[in-house]
Amino acid sequence: METMGETSENFARACRTAAETAEARTSPPKNSRRRNYYFAAWLGLAAASTLVGFYVARFRDGLASGLKVHAAAAARSQKTAPGVAATPQPGEKSDAIEGISHLAPQQQAERLLELAAQDPELAVSLIQQKLTSWREHLEEDDRLFHLVLAALHSEDPRVRVAAVEIDLAANHLMKSPESMEKLRREIHGGSEKKYMALWRLGALGNRGVEPSVALGTLRHYVHEGNQEARFWAVEGLAMLGNAASVDALLDVLAHDPEMQIRERAAYALARSGLLTGEQRLSAVPQLLNLLDDDSLSATTHNLVAETLEAITGASFGKDTQAWRDWWAHHDKREKQQQAPQNLVTA
């Protein structure tokens, strides 16, 4: 069965010519199914005939519309979506746990990733318990790969982290400096493996392995001339998920020469990756500055406004003053809530 690394290599080679891209659109080969799932799962950017096939294949849905959808979701209270399975009841949980315990490690990981959509707390707890025993027993096949991608779109950050842990284990990446060095060798080696390695470099840094090393590598490639490498460096920054990666993503959003890369940085700030809600909100002041920056294009201003809406759930378009008034009120309220309460004693 084809591994993810092999898939990435085959795809990168296939994207070298427009003819191959056109052929893939009209008659996808059998072993493109995993790639197609990957493209759809990541939502992505608008297709354009002038872009390399890499973007045409991966990003069909349009990032701006994705940001708007997320902004609308953030603006309303959470509701249970129709057709979503209900959370298992106590007796059902016991049966589920018992059934999972008799499965092989690969099937345990798959079942728990499925369960995470219904009962995140139970699934994440079991994943944490079993992860050590799974190491050296997991392999990244089609099914596990698809389930990891689905979990990375969960609204629950614990589920995203659990998916990352499983992905690292399935790719035999221990949380160690040696794994970081292995990924750096793949990145600097120049083969197609470098692109997924950039993504996993950020994930490994997020799990506490030399995050400063990961940041330095990702910052280097986010400014590299190769558009594909810049894209994956942005993905890696989203997975790194710390304050420094927020700053780097903001810089890409403002200054990358390609609109598609700026869009991906915006989506990383608003929705994807492992940034926390607080970290996303921390980007708001600088986003307001970008919205007020006359040196930026109108399309970038639109993108900034959509990113603000997606992060905050508020909607003021490109009205900078309205945004600043809203943020001043929001920021003041947050500080009041975080301030220690004075206790009145008799």
Cβ neighbours for 303, distance < 8 A, ≥ 6 positions apart: 64, 67, 253, 262, 263, 266
Say if residues 161 and 52 touch (Cβ distance below 8 Å): no
| Least confident stretch, 16-30, 72-86, 120-134, 266-280 | 16-30
pLDDT at 344: 43
Q: What confidence tier does 225 reach under pLDDT thresholds 50, 70, 90?
A: confident
Q: What confidence tier does 185 reach under pLDDT thresholds 50, 70, 90?
A: very high
Say if residues 230 and 264 touch (Cβ distance below 8 Å): no
Cβ neighbours for 120, distance < 8 A, ≥ 6 positions apart: 154, 156, 158, 159
Q: Of 92 and 290, which is predicted with more confidence?
A: 290
Count CB-CB contacts under 10 A for residue 20.
12
With tokens 């999972």, the residue in question is 100
> How high is the mean pLDDT of the chain?
78
Q: Of 300 and 4, which is predicted with more confidence?
A: 300
Say if residues 291 and 304 touch (Cβ distance below 8 Å): yes
Instruction: Find the mean pLDDT for residues 128-150.
Output: 93
Instruction: Find the mean pLDDT for residues 119-130.
Output: 95
Instruction: Please state the pTM of the whole predicted model.
Output: 0.73
Measure the CA–CA gap between 108 and 285, rounded to whole angstroms. 43
Q: Of 235 and 42, which is predicted with more confidence?
A: 235
Say if residues 201 and 184 touch (Cβ distance below 8 Å): yes
pLDDT at 98: 78
Share of the chain above pLDDT 90, in %: 63
Q: Of 82 and 322, which is predicted with more confidence?
A: 322
Instruction: Find the mean pLDDT for residues 119-138.
Output: 94
Measure the CA–CA gap between 14 and 85, rounded to whole angstroms. 39
